[in-house]
Amino acid sequence: MIQYSFQGLPFLLKYADMIDSPDSEIREENLKVSKKSSFRTKIFPGPKNSPVIYLQHGMSNRGIDDPRILTLAKHLKNSGATVYLPELTEVKGLEISVDTVPNIKSLFQEIVKREGQAISFLSASFSAGMGMVALSGKEEQKNLKSALLVGTYSDFADTLPFILSNYQVDPYAVHVLLYNYISKLRPKLSKLEEFYFEAALDNGLKRTGEEEKSPKLLKKLNQKEKDFVYSVQSDPGFRMSLVEPILSVLPPNFILRNSPKNFLADWKAPIALLHGSDDPVISPDESEQLFDSLGNGKEEWKVILRSKLITHGDHLPFYTQLGEIPKLAGLWGFFLKNSGL
């Protein structure tokens, strides 16, 4: 992987503001994938006949207006790519949904058709895992130049207990989980769904002081609802006791149909897996498991890096871990080169 460092270093230097990466022209349109479905999409147009990257946002309520993903799209465009950044309403709304895999698949197929060429895919966290499922079919593999998945998961059944075990380190993912499933776990505690949605937004949008909404909602809960919240906050055993009940209320075959580990047989495209070494939301072991299970017969077509330079959903200043830069540059270089850049 290190042989690709020269290719990836300029990209990292853009992130470090050591190389100019000017603001890009951005077109916005509703990308139609069928007569009934269209998706708000930002397009960063590259040079004529440039390689194309489909960049899928993660579970952020800012969606495609999140400054972090706009910065990433800008740097990719300034590396020579045309970048498509579609917004998935359910993902923006923090919903763990059966719609996400088919939506990513439809968008991928439409971008390929529109551009008339194979394209690359880049995403993070749950969107990365669901993207891997969506693009695992033989037809999608023919049209996939390269994939970079950041902090992805392998098996949703393993991800769930890991998230709940790390509440004290990163409560955001626990709040998202409970927002999705509390109405089925505790249907009589009717105000908790709104509470956990706003608690997730408080975390994700970094709301503090008067802007913070969950403390105000907490005061309006009844005693049983407050007891549940306090138990989640203070009792690790109580949190872990929620694992099996959540698994039991998932849609039929959700884990089977949305876990990347079940969709590796036909994977042939070059793939890079990047994971924060101390990621508190999804264990880096999940990327390791995917990497070990990918058996496309060409070891040089898959790379993996557990990096101290990234956290779940963000990156640290590069000066904090200078020794990590060549390896991270190598991974990005692998993705960019296989994307045609």
- Look at residue 95 in the predicted model and tell me its pLDDT: 97
Alpha helix segments (H runs only) across 235-283:
236-240, 243-249, 254-258
- Same domain, residue pair 306 and 239: no
In whole angstroms, what is the distance from residue 171 CA to residue 141 CA? 36
SS3 state at 256: helix
- Residue 211 resides in a domain: yes
**3-state class (DSSP) for residue 120:** strand
Cα–Cα distance for residue pair 221/184, rounded to 1 Å: 18
- Position 208 in a domain: yes
Same structural domain, 181 and 113: no
Q: State the burial class of residue 191 (Cβ atoms within 10 Å of its Cβ: 0-12, 13-18, 19+).
A: middle
Residue 49 sits in the same domain as residue 103: yes
* 222 and 238 belong to one structural domain: yes
The predicted pLDDT at position 297 comes to 55
Q: Is 298 exposed, middle or buried (0-12, 13-18, 19+ CB in 10 A)?
A: exposed
Query: What local confidence, expressed as pLDDT, does residue 322 receive?
Result: 58
One domain, residues 20 and 81: yes
The pLDDT value recorded for residue 296 is 60
Question: pLDDT at position 30, please?
Answer: 97
Do 38 and 138 lie in one domain? The reply is yes
Write the burial class of residue 318 (CB in 10 Å: 0-12 exposed, 13-18 middle, 19+ buried): middle
Q: Which of 120, 111, 17 is nearest to 71 (CA)?
A: 17
- Looking at the 3D structure of the chain, how many domains does it have? 2
Residue 171 and residue 149 share a domain: no
Mean pLDDT for the stretch of residues 67-86: 96
| Phi/psi at 146 (5° precision) | -165, 150
pLDDT of the residue at 199: 97
The answer on 44 and 127 residing in a single domain is yes
The residue from 227, 249, 271 where one domain ends is 249
Cβ atoms of 214 and 202 within 8 Å: the answer is yes
pTM for the full model? 0.94
pLDDT at residue 316 is higher than 70:
no
CB 125, CB 263: distance < 8 Å: no
* Domain boundary, last residue among 212, 229, 249: 249
Could you tell me the residue range of the domain that residue 201 belongs to? 160-249
CATH for 273: 3.40.50.1820
In a shared domain, residues 103 and 233: no
Whether the per-residue pLDDT at 309 is higher than 70: the answer is yes
In the structure, what pLDDT confidence band is assigned to residue 318 with cuts at 50, 70 and 90?
very low
- Has residue 254 been placed in a domain? no
Of 207, 231, 249, the last residue of a domain is: 249
- Do both 98 and 120 map to the same domain? yes
For residue 235, pLDDT beyond 50: yes
Please list, residue by residue across 227-250, b when 16 or more beta carbons sit within 10 angstroms of its beta carbon and e when fewer do: ebbeebeeeeeebeebbeebeeeb
Whether residues 174 and 149 fall in one domain: no
pLDDT at position 320 is 46
**270 and 124 share one domain:** yes
Average pLDDT of the chain is 93
Q: Say how many residues make up the chain.
A: 341
Question: What percentage of residues in the chain have a pLDDT greater than 70?
Answer: 95
Structural element, H or E, at residue 306: strand 302-307
pLDDT in tens, 84-108: 999 999 999 999 999 999 999 999 9
H or E segment to which residue 327 belongs: helix 325-338
